[in-house]
Each structure stands twice: as structure tokens, then as C-alpha cells.
């Protein structure tokens, strides 16, 4: 499928990955509609800071994933749907699990129902590597068991299975992309890499949770390229596909590399409020990306060091957006 000239809906368009995907789609010639969570300030989130020329070409629709009528209006007329909209803050899911069920499960059902009603040509559903829990073997391929190790991951497993059922039951052309830990410019301090960088630019002392977990960090440009590859390749229909770097690094190692980039030795202090509940902490994530390589011809292009340097530069130029001393749940 060629996205040039296609009417495309992106839910979660005002977020980190969504805003980068909107940019890429517009640059690819797609006619993009962005579904933004309603607010009385007309706040477009991270779409506020993308290229103004790109933003001016985007059709913004405000609503709420939990409102089926609003979702239907957003989907109507679109041939392709990228469903990224979700609550994603894992620590917050411990506090308000029902909010995650309402948004991530019921909200996904609303988007799927609208896509089925209007006969979309392709539906790209966004999963997460958190659905695997701590690795039972590595690297993690798409056949790995799904584990609800946090309320967030449980809600995403439910959403993934809903998407699968709409393919199997109704022949909706669904593809599920399962990104591992994406990072890069614009990401909020809710995530660990921006938290490290924002603090490192201010001080040599960092307040963090656990530094022993190992993650598969993939730069935002590579993740977005994965979304486009999934949407445009018919071999992805009905499939779940990992998108990651295929390498793993501990949080402690990320701290060391950031310290080298900012030319400052960094000292980590453990902040108990930032530590996940023991049984919910995911110890290791490492993507097996062979399926994406075979089916899509996709491979990551940006090294961790290059990606960290680009992220440090961006956050350094936008420090007013980050409250380094505060913990973002």
C-alpha cells in the first residue's frame, strides 16, 4: 500500500511517537487527520512544536477514545488508521487501573468498531513490549507468552487480543506493531532516558528508581519507520511484529553514556518513590526483530550512542519543558 494521497487517522497524535508519526506521514504525502484528546485550551500537545508547515496541513479532531460517537466521526472517511492512543504511564496504572481499562481496552474497542463500520483498508494497532513481562527467554520473539505484570500491561494485552479478534472474526485488516522502549526528542520525563538527561544537564547527582533493569531502547526515527513499514506491507496483515533495536542495555549503562556525552560524572541516588513494585518490575527486555526484517525489510538504523547524543541536544535546547527535580508519574 502506498500512503501518498491516503486519508489517514492517527489516534494518540499529540503524544511522543504519535507526533513524530504525523510528521512522517505528512512528509510521505498522506492526508493526515489527528485525533487529539479534548481540552478547553485547544492544546495540541507535542503537535504544537512540530514544523508549523506540517502542522498546518493536519486535520485535527478533538475527542475522547472512550466516546464511541466521537471516535466514529474521527474514523469516517479514513482509509488507514494508526491507533496509538492509550494511557501509557506504568506507575500511574498502579494508582488508577480502571482508567487504563476504560481508555486502553474500551477505547480500542471503539476504534475497532468504527474501523469495521467504515471499512478501513488497514488498521495498525499499537502494542508494547511490556505485554511480555520479564523475559522468560531472550531475545523475545512474538511467540513469547504475554504476562500482565502491571495493570498497564494487562490493559494492553486485552487491547491486543481485541484487535486480533477483529482480524479473525471480521476480517478487519489489522496489523499489530509491538514497539520496545522508544526514546528520542520530545519524549516526556515520564520515561527514564529523558529523566536521566534532564537531571544530568542540571546536576551530577541523579534521583532514579532501579538501575539494574535492562531494556531494548530504539530511537524514535526507527520506530516510526517501523509503523510505516507495517502499514504499507500486505505481509503484515494479521501479524504481530516486534519493532526494537535488537540490543539490550541496563539503565546504569545509559547513565554512564549520558555522563560521557554531557562530560560530567553522574552519581545515582535511589528514590524509593520511583521504584516499581517488586513483582511488577520488568527485569529484561530484548527484542527478536527477525520477523520485521523478514516480512518488512525493516531494520534499525540509529545506534544507541547516536540516538542519545541527538536526544541530549534536543532536551538541552528545550530545558524549560522539563522539571528535572520533580518525578513524573
What average pLDDT does the segment 172-177 reach? 98
7-182+219-243: CATH topology is Rossmann fold (3.40.50)
| pLDDT above 90 (res 278) | no
- For the chain, percent of residues with pLDDT exceeding 90: 86
Chain mean position to CA 296: 19
pLDDT bin (cut points 50, 70, 90) of residue 110 is very high
218: three-class secondary structure by DSSP: strand
Instruction: Output the average pLDDT for the chain.
Output: 94
| Nearest one of 244, 243, 218 to 308, comparing CA atoms | 218
- For the chain, percent of residues with pLDDT exceeding 70: 97
Strands (E), the chain: 7-11, 31-37, 59-63, 80-83, 122-126, 174-179, 181-183, 205-208, 214-215, 217-219, 240-243, 249-250, 267-270
- Give the separation between CA 96 and CA 110, rounded to whole angstroms: 21
| pLDDT above 90 (res 280) | no
CB 9 within 8 A of CB 18: no
For 104, left (φ over 0), alpha (ψ -120 to 50), or beta?
alpha
Residue 115: all three cell numbers together? 474501523
Residue extents of the structural domains in the chain: 7-182+219-243, 183-215+247-284+302-321
pLDDT of residue 276: 65
Note if 152 is an active site residue.
yes
More confident residue, 42 or 20: 20
- Give the separation between CA 35 and CA 163, rounded to whole angstroms: 19
CB 197 within 8 A of CB 259: no
pLDDT of residue 161: 98
Residue 34: all three cell numbers together? 489527528
pLDDT bin (cut points 50, 70, 90) of residue 272 is confident
Q: What is the per-residue burial (b if ≥16 Cβ within 10 Å, else e) of 99-118?
A: ebbbbbbbbbbbbbbbbbee
CB 146 within 8 A of CB 132: yes
Chain mean position to CA 245: 14
Q: What are the pLDDT digits (tens) for 226-266? A: 999 999 999 999 999 999 999 999 999 999 999 999 999 99
CB 318 within 8 A of CB 200: no
What average pLDDT does the segment 82-87 reach? 98
Indicate the CATH number of 183-215+247-284+302-321 among 3.40.640.10, 2.60.120.380, 3.90.25.10, 3.40.50.300. 3.90.25.10
CB 80 within 8 A of CB 120: yes
Catalytic, out of 132, 152, 166, 322 = 152
112: three-class secondary structure by DSSP: helix
pLDDT of residue 279: 66
Q: What are the pLDDT digits (tens) for 306-318? A: 999 999 999 999 9
What average pLDDT does the segment 135-143 reach? 95
Amino acid at each position: 500500500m502506498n500512503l501518498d494521497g491516503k486519508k489517514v487517522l492517527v489516534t494518540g497524535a499529540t503524544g511522543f511517537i504519535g507526533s513524530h508519526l504525523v510528521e512522517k506521514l505528512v512528509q510521505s504525502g498522506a492526508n493526515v487527520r489527528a485525533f487529539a484528546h479534548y481540552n478547553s485550551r485547544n492544546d495540541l500537545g507535542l503537535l504544537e512544536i512540530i514544523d508549523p508547515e506540517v502542522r498546518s496541513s493536519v486535520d485535527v479532531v478533538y475527542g475522547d477514545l472512550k466516546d464511541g460517537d466521537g471516535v466514529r466521526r474521527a474514523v469516517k472517511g479514513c482509509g488507514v488508521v494508526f491507533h496509538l492512543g492509550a494511557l501509557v504511564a506504568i506507575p500511574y496504572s498502579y494508582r488508577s487501573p480502571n482508567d487504563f481499562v476504560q481508555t486502553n481496552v474500551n477505547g480500542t474497542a471503539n476504534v475497532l468498531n468504527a474501523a469495521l463500520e467504515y471499512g478501513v483498508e488497514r488498521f495498525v494497532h499499537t502494542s508494547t513490549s511490556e505485554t511480555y513481562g520479564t523475559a522468560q527467554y531472550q531475545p523475545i520473539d512474538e511467540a513469547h507468552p504475554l504476562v500482565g505484570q502491571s495493570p498497564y500491561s494487562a490493559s494492553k494485552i486485552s487491547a491486543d487480543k481485541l484487535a486480533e479478534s477483529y482480524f479473525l472474526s471480521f476480517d478487519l485488516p489489522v496489523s499489530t506493531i509491538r514497539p520496545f522502549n522508544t526514546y528520542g526528542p520530545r519524549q516526556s520525563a515520564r520515561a527514564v532516558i529523558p529523566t536521566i538527561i534532564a537531571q544530568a544537564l542540571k546536576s551530577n547527582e541523579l534521583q532514579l528508581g532501579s538501575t539494574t533493569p535492562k531494556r531494548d531502547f530504539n530511537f524514535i526515527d526507527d520506530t516510526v519507520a517501523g509503523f510505516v513499514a507495517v502499514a504499507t506491507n500486505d505481509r503484515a496483515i494479521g501479524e504481530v511484529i516486534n519493532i526494537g533495536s535488537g540490543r539490550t542495555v541496563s539503565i546504569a549503562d545509559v547513565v554512564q553514556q549520558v555522563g560521557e556525552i554531557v562530560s560530567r560524572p553522574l552519581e545515582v541516588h535511589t528514590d524509593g518513590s520511583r521504584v516499581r513494585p517488586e513483582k511488577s518490575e520488568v527485569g529484561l527486555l530484548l527484542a527478536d526483530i527477525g520477523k520485521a526484517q523478514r516480512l518488512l525489510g525493516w531494520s534499525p538504523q540509529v545506534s544507541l550512542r547516536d540516538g542519545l547524543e541527538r536526544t541530549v541536544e534536543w532536551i538541552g535546547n528545550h530545558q524549560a519543558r522539563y522539571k528535572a527535580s520533580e518525578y513524573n508519574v
